[in-house]
Structure 1
Amino acid sequence: MGYHTFDADRADNLEDAQRRYRFLSAEELLWALSPDGDETVADLGSGTGFYTDDVAPAVDRVSAVDIQEAMHDYYREKGVPENVDLVTSGVDDLPFDTDSLDAAFSTMTYHEFASERALRELSRVLEPGGTLVVVDWAAAGTGAHGPPLDERFSAAEAGDALRQHGFEIEFEAERPETFLLVGRND
């Protein structure tokens, strides 16, 4: 079950590249997505667009999905790339057509939206064979960064939940503070 969202009043913290890339580099995210340039992608819980900006040059379109309009306001002030659409929505009720996304990714937000309804919705909007990348704070982490430990999942727990919703896990890694899953929609 998902928990609270990141406080938009602290959005500046999401722009700290040294801290953010310590847990997930742009190169690792792009490796996991493996774009060829023509994809339509959704950033789930995009916040200030920190990782959206890394993915946008490598794909055709990105929908920056966030439930908080204040995060989109921050992103607008920062500057939104031309191929990025701002979408105010929860992951459990995405405004996309069935099978309309080639890929989706979640960077440190899975714990905020993890639910049966959200995972069903992701399975619906991703085309068959579409890629889902999830990077989040690991339950085995120290708790020094990210949400409280009781709001986190392990890679195995998240992977099992994705499998139950039709995803085949192609890559799974649990690191000291985070985990990375790459799945394909069946």
Structure 2
Amino acid sequence: MGGEGVLHKEVFVEPIPEALIPYLIDPNHRAVRDVYHTLNGEEWRIPAMNLIWKAGGGWNEHFERLEGMLFGYEDWQNDWWIAHRIEKSGGFGGIPFCCKVDSEGLKWMELAGFKALPPLAEIQIHIDDPDEETVAAALLAEDECAVALARFKLSLEMQRKLLDGGTRGPWQIDREQIPEINRHLKRQVDVVFRRSAP
């Protein structure tokens, strides 16, 4: 290697879009500077990382796995991290939401492979706090027909629609609106809390 260092360094400076400048805390801060380091010979990781970040469409577990691979994590480490994030907050990107389902709704979701919320009746969507199991238990306790709590993530577009006006829910979603919610699901629906059988 001669007198060269072990690391390769690249610096990217990207101007902040004009539309965001009025919202900056420091009006003199006009660019974002990213500094990347790789081992010499592994410079390809930098454009690959930039490509992942610019792919758009919302961050998900597939992007997270690719990023982990570029950081050099082994498959088992990426598997553990993704399973941990899904268990704690329902996956990557955005706010976790939840709703109660009755036994018919739970059966419908099982038959649908947990790819959709049941279109059987009106549902009430809440923001899910993965650190508050007591809240989940309380939601089920207040409705004797509810047997489980379903957690899901929505596209950024649908999150904005729900949160428009600054409300934190809950939101009443009627049967006609459920297909639209289902079109905006980012991944499968997880059943995170089941009522124990009497």
TM-score (norm 1): 0.23
The answer to which structure has the higher strand fraction is 1
Larger radius of gyration: 2
TM-score (norm 2): 0.22
